[in-house]
Amino acid sequence: MTAKLSYLRCEATPGQFADEVVIAGKDHSGEEFSLFANRQFVETEQAPHEESSVPVLLRVTELAKDGELVLIRLPSQTLANGQTITVRSEELEDAPAWQEA
Amino acid sequence: MLRLGKKRKQKMILSNVEIHDAIDKKRLIIKPEPSPRTMGVAGGHCPYNTHSVDLRLSPEIVIPTTGKFSYDMVQAGNLAQLIKAHSQTLKLTADQPFILEPGRFVLGKTLEWIELPITANCEACLAARIEGKSSFARLGMLVHFTAPTVHPDFEGTLTLEMINLGPASIILRPDMYIAQLIVEEVKGCPNRNPSQFQGQRDAVGVIGGEVARAS
């Protein structure tokens, strides 16, 4: 399988540095993961703010696929589990929907 | 100059000349590009050493705050948010630098954005290491003390974990040369995922009960 660019549905709030965000998402088993990512890797309709998280699409690379499970590489390391995780394919998009219109 | 033939194919740390070549060929991207490439007769700081390039400190630093809590790296949940919630970000200026007191730990990052692309034909893939500078070491300051490797395919600024282990305060100013990047060629074409499985828990990075491989 050739590595493929994709977008993972996540939630984001501002990060420690001005150009980063805190990303929160769920892996295939429903377990939450989190990471700091540069804003360059995030597509969103509204800027993340401190009050509550906003939905974002995180740019990821698909590495392998098996049915509904997709192995992806995140743009940076998660706090607890490295940079590669498995998610459900339904959580991935080929491109941000608001860019297609 | 004997640079061609078999010798040319050896993988090793890049000299300043080879770093310039890698930048020109977009195998190494550093934005903004460090300059000047050579020292002029007028003097000044040239960021290129014999086999490394100096990087500067971004104006932002992050100060972890204290409190009655502990970090559990294997707990479920939004650990990044917890870390963020217990930190304070400062923006330094030339007039308002940060005084790093003895024993104090802060996060910084490089001003420069680094990219080490893996090209389609995977020719001469690069990796790098971020290291401190000897001048800071003499003062007792660690600029970067964990996981110095910058992997092939990396894109981003480099986070610096800075701690002052010396007896005197050290003043941190934006744009100051704070670290050095050592660039090296990787032998062979890296698989994009295998090392990142190491140390992970069972549920992550695994498909069908077996470690998946990109192919």
Condensed to tens digits (0 to 9), the pLDDT of residues B149-197 reads 999 989 999 999 999 999 999 999 999 999 999 999 998 887 655 444 3
Identify the closest residue of chain A to B204 by CA–CA distance. Answer: A85
Contacts of B107 in chain A (CB under 8 A): 16
Tokens of B33: 């590009």
Kindly write down the DSSP assignment for every residue of B167-207, as one continuous string.
SS-EEE-TT-EEEEEEEEEPSSPPPSSGGGGTT--TTSSEE
Higher pLDDT, B75 or B16: B16
Task: Kindly indicate the confidence band of residue B72, based on its pLDDT and cuts at 50, 70 and 90.
Answer: confident
- Give dist(CA A62, CA A73) in Å, integer: 6
* Amino acid A2: pLDDT: 57
**Average pLDDT of the segment spanning B129-136:** 94
- Give dist(CA B212, CA B16) in Å, integer: 39
Query: B5 pLDDT exceeds 60?
Result: no
Closest partner residue to A85 (CB to CB) among B74, B80, B204 is: B204
pTM (two decimals): 0.83
ipTM: 0.84
Query: B205 pLDDT exceeds 60?
Result: no
- Give dist(CA A57, CA A37) in Å, integer: 12
Residue-wise pLDDT for A9-64, tens only, equals 999 999 999 999 999 999 999 999 999 999 999 999 888 998 889 999 999 999 99
- The answer to whether the Cβ–Cβ distance between B77 and A34 falls below 8 Å is yes
